[in-house]
Chain A
Amino acid sequence: MSRFRLEIRVIPRPGLLDPEGKAIQSALHSLDYDQVHEVSVGKVLYLDVEAASAEEARDGADAMCRRLLANPVTEDFEIDVLEATAETVTT
C-alpha cells in the first residue's frame, strides 16, 4: 500500500448564482483589474489516503465526493492525485 496526497476541488456548477464570486469580481474591478470577466469561488480539500494505486485512490475520492464532499445539486468536483507521499507497510 502507498500513501497518496489528493487535491479535490469543489466548485459551483456553471450558471449557479455565485454572490461571493460576484463580490470579489467587483472588488477587483474597483482596484482597476478590468480584465477580470468572471470569478467563481469554490473550495479545495487535501486528503492523505492509503491506496494500492493512484487509480484506487482516485476512485475512493470520487465516491467520497458523491456521498459527502460535494452537493450534486450545486457543485461539481475535480480530483487530482498529487503524489505518492510515502510507502507504508501495513499489516
Chain B
Amino acid sequence: MRVAIVTFPGSNCDYDLYKCIQLVGGTPEFRWHRDVELGDVDAVMLPGGFSYGDYLRAGAIATMSPIMDAVKSFAGSGGPVLGICNGFQTLCESGLLPGALLRNRSLLFSSRDVLLRVENTSSIFTQEYEAGQILRMPIAHAEGNYHADDETLDRLEGEGRVLFRYTNAEGEAVDSANPNGSARSIAGILNEAGNVMGMMPHPERAVEPILGSVDGLGLFNALLSHLSPLGAA
C-alpha cells in the first residue's frame, strides 16, 4: 500500500501518520501542498495539525492548495482518502465530505482519550472492526463540533455513513460522552461513494501499547487489506 501523506504548512501530525503507515506495513510518501501530482499511490491521507495556522477557518485555506485538485480527482476516481482531525476539517471545507466542524461547545481546546462506537463495519476503513465495538483513541482539537443540517444528518445515518460515534464505556452515545458537541455524537463520516472518510479522533496515535491504545490499528489494517487483498503490501 503506497500512501501519499499530504503536508500543508502547519500540518503537525504528518510524521506520526508516516510512522503509523510504516508500522502496518505500508509505504508512506510525503506530498507537499505545492505539488500538483500525487503520483502512483493507492491511498491519500490528510494529517492533523493547524494548516495555515487555522487562520480564517480550520482547513479553509488548505483547500486552496495546488495539491488539493489532485486529491479531488483521486477521490473522484474512487481512490481511498482519509482525513484525520485537521484533515477532516479540510475535507469538509473542500466539499469532499458534507457538513462542517465548528468550535467545541466548551470553547476550549480538548485533549483527552475518547471512546468511539463502530457504527458500520462494511466500509473499506472499518471492515476489520466488529459492529458496536468500542475503541479508545485520543482527540486533540478546538474545532471538532460536527455540524450539518438535519436532512444531511438523516441521510448520513440512513446510508450507513456515520462510521464512529462518541460513547461512554457502555457504548451509549450520551451527551456527557460527547467531547465537543457534535451533532448526534458523530466522530467520523464517509462520503456517498464510500471512499472518502474523515474523523476527528486520532487513530494514528493509538497504534502501540506504549501509547495507551492499539485500537487505531484496525482502521489502517482494514485499508491495507482492502488495497492488497492478497496480502501484498
Chains A and B touch each other in the complex, with CB atoms below 8 Å apart: yes
Complex Cα–Cα for A29 and B188 (A): 37
Q: Which of B56, B100, B102 contacts A69 (CB 8 A)?
A: B56
Interface flag for B106 (CB, 8 Å): yes
A74/B100 in contact, CB under 8 A? yes
CB-based contact B56/A73 at 8 Å = no
A82, chain B: closest CB distance, angstroms: 21
Total residues of chain A contacting the partner, CB 8 A = 10
Query: Main SS of the interface on chain B?
Result: loop
- Residue interface mask A50-91, B partner, CB < 8 A = 1: 000000000000000000110101100000000000000000
Q: For residue A73, which residue of chain B has the nearest CB?
A: B100
CB nearest to B93 among chain A residues: A71
Number of chain B interface residues as a range: 20 to 34
Chain A residues whose C-beta falls within 8 Å of the C-beta of B148 in the assembled complex: 73
Residue A36 at the B interface, CB < 8 A?
no
Asked if A20 contacts B99 (CB within 8 A), the reply is: no
Instruction: Say if the beta carbon of B136 comes within 8 Å of chain A.
Output: no
> Closest CB of chain A to B206's CB: distance in Å?
28
Instruction: Give A23 to B181 CA distance when docked, in angstroms.
Output: 15
Q: Are B105 and A17 in contact (CB under 8 A)?
A: yes
B184 at interface by CB-CB < 8 Å: no
Known pairs A71-B57, A71-B93, A73-B99; A20 contacts B107 (CB<8 A): yes
Could you tell me if A20 and B100 are in contact, using CB atoms closer than 8 angstroms? no
Cβ-based interface call for A31 (8 A): no
Q: Is the CB of B105 within 8 A of A16?
A: no
Contact residues in B for A17 (Cβ distance below 8 Å): 102, 105, 145, 147, 181
Residues of chain B touching chain A, judged by Cβ–Cβ distance below 8 Å, are 56-57, 60-61, 63-64, 92-93, 98-100, 102-107, 145, 147-148, 181
CB-defined A-B contacts under 8 Å, sample of 5: A19-B107, A23-B107, A68-B63, A68-B64, A73-B147
Top 10 nearest A-B pairs by Cβ distance? A73-B100, A74-B100, A19-B105, A19-B107, A71-B100, A71-B57, A20-B107, A23-B107, A74-B147, A73-B99
